[in-house]
């Protein structure tokens, strides 16, 4: 909300996640690939 100069923490977090996904070559993939990125960062494997 720019008119109130309130920081949008969730927006900033999502932007960082998307930037990281793009940096890892996931730009053309389904948005659910963010789960893969987060599980890898946590050292966990996703079940298929």
- pLDDT tens-digit readout, 1-48: 567 777 788 888 888 988 988 998 888 888 888 888 888 889 998 777
Residue 16 tokens, joined:
């960082």
Cβ partners under 8 Å of residue 26, min gap 6? 33, 34, 36, 37
Phi-psi group of 6: left, alpha or beta (phi > 0 → left; psi -120 to 50 → alpha; rest → beta): beta
In whole angstroms, give the CA distance from residue 25 to residue 6: 32
- Enumerate the domain spans of the chain: 2-41
Q: What global pTM score does this model have?
A: 0.64
31 three-state secondary structure: coil
């Amino acid at each position: 909300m720019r008119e109130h100069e309130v920081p949008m923490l969730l927006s900033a977090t999502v932007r960082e996640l998307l930037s990281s996904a793009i940096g890892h070559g996931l730009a053309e993939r389904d948005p659910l690939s963010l789960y893969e990125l987060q599980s890898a960062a946590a050292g966990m494997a996703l079940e298929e």
